[in-house]
A and B are shown apart, each in its own frame.
Chain A
């Protein structure tokens, strides 16, 4: 009996496994595949309109604008075909737009949250209204995108915002004991001006380190073990590959905006106390009267639930709902169960308010 044959097979299989592993780690997955048009741009920002896939008569008239964070790529909302929130909403009959803030360069180091909320966002909205022919619109903000949409909604309540959706929104920084970032960026330990004097903008690598270091073992070890364990499951590998492509695609954050985030929000908690001033205008949350849905991830370690809950008591909206869901900061929208939980809930909530 020849016993070397199975051993050779095993060695070859192991070799194949290692090569597959390295291929996934060293390549980029095809992401953001839903067809779209660039309909507006300003500096690095671009507004995309996704090509409608439902006949006009069956489409919801109120357009939906998606606004993601300024220090991550927005294609997490359109990660891969068959598992894309954008694709899901377009197929549900929504006229979907996505605002991509772009990658800030050294010349953008003075760009503040004010500029994003008052210059870029209203201009993109104007273009969206022009294209859709609608005066009212819905807006979904996620993470820092939710912070910007909240500021915008409070400063421009008459602009036609009908529905406001806030996903894992960092708005309230009062419970510092539960917010790890607040501890790390405490003025006793972290000199934000020194960092920005050295780099201009906040480097994407440092932001990435901050996010990963919240759960170091999970992000630096367990995550890669999971890939190894699931190498024979093509669907799991595809999902991991796409997510890793997004996670490793880091972009810097405009220096002045980062400083504002740390000083005005993490340290002074100005927004939720109605003390934040944007271009000399006071951001008064009680001026928000749009229908409001806040989506809160129970297991969010980046934006703990306590940061998103207080907004309901501050706004004037009569139609408001808080949707708590198990999962993490990104997982609730891009995780394997998002298409069964978060997406249908958003779609259902929005569909009854988009006629």
Chain B
């Protein structure tokens, strides 16, 4: 009996030919376009008005967004051509958007407008405010221009070492820029924030304006948990002392604090992802299907 079961389990299931998902996806797309065409025809009566045209474009946008959403969702069933099309479109559109955005928000106003303000104002940015010190701006803009050219030298067949210099400058400037703020905001201010009274009291004021000071139990618990948590987690990162005895137990407690922190962070991430899914469903139900 067992032998026969084992043999059955080892047998490969018969290969079934599934319908080509590409054709299925195209068929769905075709039906959708037909529905869209009907919607367009229904609007032909007042197509002359600008409002109808706007509504039409909005409708097309909603339909495209809905199909993109469903296309991405289709991966949950299995990998398929529709998903690949949607994924590729997302990547392509994102890359193009960031490239154009960087060009118009950084290169044009921060570099070209300083090198040739008249040209930029005439052909690219009519709202460009004339600088009070155009010569100085021009000279200063030459620095990023040269550094940018050196960075692009990486693509040249020879002399790639030239691109190392602007990278070094970027790293140096960023480190210098962040050092002071990190010391002030993330080190000194955090130490100051940790130094709080262990035993907490809260002051409440009644309607007559009389203030009463009372023992805050949960505030006190929070104070103790904070101090124990900070010290135990710090002891876990104390690698110059062997984790044995008191230090070992403290480090073990520190691991628990770290794990609880990671669990909390993961829970918050899950909450964020569920919200994204809920928002997509809201879109599909309300904006696309008109229900709910």
Q: Do A and B come from one complex?
A: no
